[in-house]
């Protein structure tokens, strides 16, 4: 679960948000007058921040991004974990918690090929 806006993962630059011109600067989406218009923080970066900045163990940080939101939303009986009967929608991370591949509906794809 993330509140990232549409330019997440892209380069710094501009886009439209309804009638507003929004620019991505320093990981934030701001209007021309500097008003915060959203976040450009992706979930993998948020997990890395938990691990590196707060010292949270990797397995707990990953549960915070997957299982706990599913429990909060009341969907943990079908989302948020790797188990028989759950959909195969997975992000595969390297040791530095960068997404290297995804599995969607059981189909494996390298990130560069997506």
Active site (annotated) includes residue 21: no
Q: What is the DSSP letter of 56?
A: -
Q: Could you report how far apart the first and last alpha carbons of the chain are, in Å?
A: 21
pLDDT of residue 50: 95
Give the pLDDT confidence score for residue 111 in this predicted structure: 79
pLDDT at 39: 83
pLDDT value at residue 55: 97
pLDDT (0 to 100) of residue 5:
73
Residue by residue, pLDDT tens for the chain (114 residues) are 577 776 676 666 678 888 988 888 877 888 989 999 888 888 888 999 999 999 999 999 999 999 999 999 999 998 888 888 888 888 898 988 888 999 988 888 887 655
Q: What pLDDT, on the 0 to 100 scale, is given for residue 113?
A: 59
> Which pLDDT score, from 0 to 100, does residue 64 have?
94
Cα dihedral 16→18→22→26 (10° resolution) = -100
Strand ranges for 36-106 from DSSP E: 36-39, 90-93, 99-104
């Amino acid at each position: 679960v993330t509140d990232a806006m549409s330019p997440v993962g892209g380069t710094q630059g501009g886009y439209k948000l309804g009638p507003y011109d929004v620019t991505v600067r320093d990981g934030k989406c701001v209007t021309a007058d500097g008003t915060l218009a959203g976040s450009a923080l992706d979930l993998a970066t948020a997990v890395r921040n938990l691990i590196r900045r707060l010292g949270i163990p990797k397995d707990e940080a990953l549960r915070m991004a997957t299982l706990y939101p599913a429990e909060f939303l009341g969907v943990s009986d079908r989302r948020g974990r790797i188990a028989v009967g759950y959909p195969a929608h997975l992000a595969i991370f390297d040791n530095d918690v960068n997404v290297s591949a995804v599995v969607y509906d059981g189909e494996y794809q390298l990130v560069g090929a997506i």
